[in-house]
Amino acid sequence: MNRPYIVLLLVSLFLLAGSSPAFSQTVNYMADYKVEGDIWIDMQVGHRCNSGAEQKQTVRGSGKMSKKMSVAMTEGKITVEDSNRITTAADALRNLTVTSVIKLCSPPKHTYDDNMFSGPVALGGFYGDADQPRFWVLQAGANGGWSGEHWSEYADQWESISDQIWAVRLEAYPGESGRLRQEYEAAYGPYSGGRLLEDDDRWRLRSDGKRAERGPYYVGDYFRMSQTATTSMGELRRYVNISSPWSHGYLFIDGTITGFSEIRESFRLRNIRAGSELDPDWFELF
């Protein structure tokens, strides 16, 4: 193999913009990698419930890789464009592999079982026992419970039906190539049990328990993904496990393809729209 070379452009900008109290601090990150040789990279962008989601990525093996990445983050929201092209060296002892795991903060749908009755649980769920409060509410950090003051007493009887993960692993065999491109947005804002102020960025349940009232600067509760993964010859692994307590929707994928593969996917999780006064331009990538 030729002597390894690295060309790396890394730009990290910390911007202060005073246009809106909800988005006065943002972080933008851009990277352009061209690398060849023995490659070992660990990367994480976002931090699950601080930026709405987090993406952990690893690159392992010998060969060539080009990568372009743009990230924009603020409280409760992350926007990512990520493109990776790999070619494993013909004499590689370890195939070149890219693994990407995205973990959402947006809470999953739950079930409830107290040995007396069980069933699916969603927002606005009603139960006949007078000793149990009527509504389940979502808390920041993906916790759940009754809206009554003693909801935590029931916490060990709740079970989530999904782990809110979107993951892919791409491996190219010696002399073969692969590509992973993904563009996504994820948002999740905190829950507020009190009155929403004019400039509040939170949300709460309406009195009927079936809809959310939003602060004007609320970032939203959603996940949008567009992804393409291909291998000329290699192994492609997919794992998706996402649900919603709002729509009762559920998506599960667990599979491995060995050989040639080309998979194009798009996904939309729409729970709560962004607030009416949210500036739509803050996350524009450059």
Which pair of structure tokens corresponds to residue 87?
């070619």
Could you give the C-alpha distances from 47 to 44, 73, 163, 187, in angstroms and in order? Answer: 8, 10, 16, 12
**Do 222 and 270 touch, CB atoms closer than 8 A?**
yes
Of 90, 88, 93, which Cα lies nearest the Cα of 65? 88
Q: Which amino acid is at 20?
A: S
The reported pLDDT for the residue numbered 185 is 96
Q: Is 24 helix (H, G, I), strand (E, B) or coil?
A: coil
> Digits of tens for pLDDT over the chain (286 positions)?
444 433 333 333 333 333 344 445 778 899 999 999 999 999 999 998 889 999 999 999 999 999 999 999 988 899 999 999 999 999 999 999 999 999 998 888 877 666 555 555 545 433 333 444 334 444 433 344 444 334 445 555 667 789 999 999 999 999 999 999 999 999 988 776 667 887 788 887 776 656 778 888 888 999 999 999 999 999 999 999 999 888 889 999 999 999 999 999 999 999 988 888 776 654 454 3
Beta strands at 53-74 and 25-45: parallel, antiparallel or unpaired: antiparallel
3-state helix, strand, coil in the chain (%, to 5): 5, 60, 40
- Ordered alpha helix ranges (H), 7-111: none
Q: What is the pTM of this model?
A: 0.81
